[in-house]
Amino acid sequence: MRSDELADQLQEEVAKLTAERDRLQKELEHWYRAEIARAGRISEAYTRGAVVIGPDGSYEDPLVTRMRADRDTLAAQLARAETVISGPLSTLTLDAVQAEAIRARAKHGERTVLNREMPAGEKVAILGEEFGEVCRALTYDQDRTKLVGELIQVASVSLLWVESIEGQATPATTQREGAGDGDPA
At 63 the pLDDT is 62
| Nearest alpha carbon to residue 108 among 134, 133, 130, 83 | 130
Other Cβ atoms closer than 10 A to 117: 10
Instruction: Give mean pLDDT, residues 48-75.
Output: 64
Torsion of CA 14, 15, 21, 25, to 10 degrees: 150
Residue 25 DSSP class: H
Other Cβ atoms closer than 10 A to 70: 15
At 180 the pLDDT is 41
Is there a contact between 156 and 97 (Cβ–Cβ < 8 Å)?
Answer: yes
- If you average pLDDT over every residue of the chain, what do you get? 75
What does the pLDDT look like over 111-123, one tens digit per residue?
889 888 999 999 9
What does the pLDDT look like over 77-118, one tens digit per residue?
777 766 666 667 777 888 888 888 888 888 888 888 988 899
Taking each continuous run of H as one helix and of E as one strand, the counts in the chain are 5, 0
Residues 6+ apart with CB under 8 A from 28: 71, 74, 75, 78
The sign of the dihedral angle between the CA atoms of 13, 14, 20, 23 is: negative
Residue ranges of domains in the chain: 3-86, 91-165
Is there a contact between 150 and 139 (Cβ–Cβ < 8 Å)?
Answer: no
The residue type found at 114 is: L
How would residue 74 be classed by pLDDT, with cut points 50, 70 and 90?
Answer: confident
